[in-house]
Amino acid sequence: MKRKPSTEATSAWIRLMRVQSRVLDCVEQDLKKAGFPPLAWYDALLELSRAPSGELRPVELERQMLIPQYSTSRLIDRLVDEGLACRRECKIDKRGQFVEITEAGRELQKRMWGAYSAAIEKYVGSKLSDADAVKLSGLLDRLGCSCGEMKLPPIVHANETTPSR
Amino acid sequence: MKRKPSTEATSAWIRLMRVQSRVLDCVEQDLKKAGFPPLAWYDALLELSRAPSGELRPVELERQMLIPQYSTSRLIDRLVDEGLACRRECKIDKRGQFVEITEAGRELQKRMWGAYSAAIEKYVGSKLSDADAVKLSGLLDRLGCSCGEMKLPPIVHANETTPSR
DNA sequence: GCAAGATTGATGCAGATGCATCGAATGGGG
DNA sequence: CCCCATTCGATGCATCTGCATCAATCTTGC
């Protein structure tokens, strides 16, 4: 039952780790150079903007983003500090609250998407044919599911192309 | 010249990010539960153990591991504190030094490989056929090269199978 | 209706990271 | 030979993360 990892699996693992950290670095760097906040902010803003009335419970945001609870809590603090979101009381559960994206938040999200999508194109799109991108997605999906209980949110993560304006 | 990213590229990007962070989390968690230090320590110990006489210049370690200089510096501090490595003077360049792995370091590296390889098998090997692992590696490689100047070190990163003992 | 347990979100603290900068040493012109 | 640009490695500081824990509230079982 206890197999040793194939060299192929090990090599795939190593590449997965190295390539994503490298590519992520490049993308974050581009965004930062363009004067934008970290990608996590974008992710949060996007989730909020896609929510029914632009608001989510922190606990939902947390589950969407797959980050720890305290991390969500502090991310929200920062968004609120910057006026990108605001806290709203939650009448049906007084432990909780809602976080609502502001107009400034929506705007920033859209502006970031411009730089973000350009970076994705630069570091991913231009290196892979559509067909290969699909293959890659498929292979990755198989890894993703069920490390414990994985919940890949619906799929779309980015706006449709060119959302600003 | 300025294309918008294909949905395929975007979707591949999202999966790459989410899957690796998820899988990495799982692996790190397993290691931590087994009482081992973070993976970065393993990487450093492995690089050192594979070096000619078990020693490297910090700057080489830094380039192998693709982490920032100050990060290397502090990682070495911790390894030295734990007796896993020691600093040696560098006679040919007095700015620098050598870092040499100790016997304890080599041992830890081998013990970690046991847990590490098991985790890789659990989270990667068991989900992917060898053939698919090869395909995945190939696709990832295409992404890796030349975000700036990528240097994927030679390939092997892990010991040959079952190195401990 | 109530006590026990679970869930939500915040926070104090220790340790880690990013950034800028520093001092020391090297190496290359002129 | 000397100066200057560059490389090597360390570190002060602000920020960020992980962990444990807290108080408040909700839910469940009785």
Topology of domain B18-144 in CATH is Arc Repressor Mutant, subunit A (1.10.10)
Looking at residue A149, its pLDDT comes to 39
Confirm if B113 and B43 have CB atoms less than 8 A apart: no
Amino acid A46: pLDDT: 96
Q: Is the dihedral of CA A140, B33, A44, A126 positive or negative?
A: negative
User: Residue A165: helix, strand or coil by DSSP?
Assistant: coil
> pLDDT tens for residues B92-132?
999 999 999 999 999 999 999 999 999 999 999 999 999 99
In the structure, how far is the CA atom of residue B4 from the C1' atom of nucleotide D19, in angstroms? 42
Map tokens 């400034």 to a residue: A104
Per-residue confidence (pLDDT) for residue A4, from 0 to 100: 66
Residue B163 has pLDDT above 60, yes or no: no
The pLDDT value recorded for residue A155 is 30
Q: Is B7 on the interface with A (CB under 8 A)?
A: yes
Work out the average pLDDT over A43-64.
Answer: 94
Q: pLDDT tens-digit profile of A143-157?
A: 876 544 333 333 333
- ipTM entry: 0.84
Query: pLDDT at residue B157 above 50?
Result: no
Residue B95 CB in 7 A reach of strand D: yes
A151 lies within 8 A of chain B by CB? no
Chain A residues 19-48 with a CB less than 8 Å from chain B? 19-26
The answer on pLDDT for A160 being more than 50 is no
Q: Would you state the pLDDT for residue B158?
A: 43
> How far does A102 lie from chain B, in Å, by closest CA?
25
Element (H, E) at A110: helix A103-123
- The two tokens of residue A5 are 């990892």
pLDDT at B152: 36
Long-range contacts of A134-139 (CB under 8 A, 24+ apart): A134/B8, A134/B12, A135/B135, A135/B139, A136/B12, A136/B15, A136/B16, A136/B136, A136/B139, A136/B140, A137/B8, A137/B11, A137/B12, A137/B15, A139/B128, A139/B132, A139/B135, A139/B136, A139/B139
Any strand D atom closer than 7 Å to B21 CB: no
**Domain locations in chain A as residue ranges:** 22-144
d(Cα A112, Cα A34) in Å, to the nearest integer?
9
The B 59-78 residues near strand C by Cβ under 7 Å are 67-68, 70-71, 74-75, 78
| Predicted local confidence at residue B154, as pLDDT | 33
Q: Is the pLDDT of residue A161 over 60?
A: no
Nucleic acid strand C within 7 Å of A95 CB: yes
Yes or no: domain A22-144 corresponds to CATH 1.10.10.10? yes
Residue pLDDT, tens place only, A87-129: 999 999 999 999 999 999 999 999 999 999 999 999 999 999 9
Please give the Cα distance from B117 to A11 (Å, whole number): 11
- pLDDT category, A7, cuts 50, 70, 90? confident
**B165 Cβ contact partners less than 8 Å away, ≥ 6 residues apart:** B110
Candidate from A23, A123, A142 with C-beta closest to B127: A142
Structure tokens at A66: 């797959």
Two structure tokens written together for B113: 């490989």
Separation in Å: C12 C1' and A62 CA:
22
User: Cα(B151)–Cα(B159) distance, rounded to whole angstroms?
Assistant: 20
pLDDT at B59: 95
Classify residue A33 as exposed, middle or buried by CB count within 10 Å of its CB (0-12, 13-18, 19+).
exposed
Q: Quick: pLDDT tens for B26-85.
A: 999 999 999 999 999 999 999 999 999 999 999 999 999 999 999 999 999 999 999 999
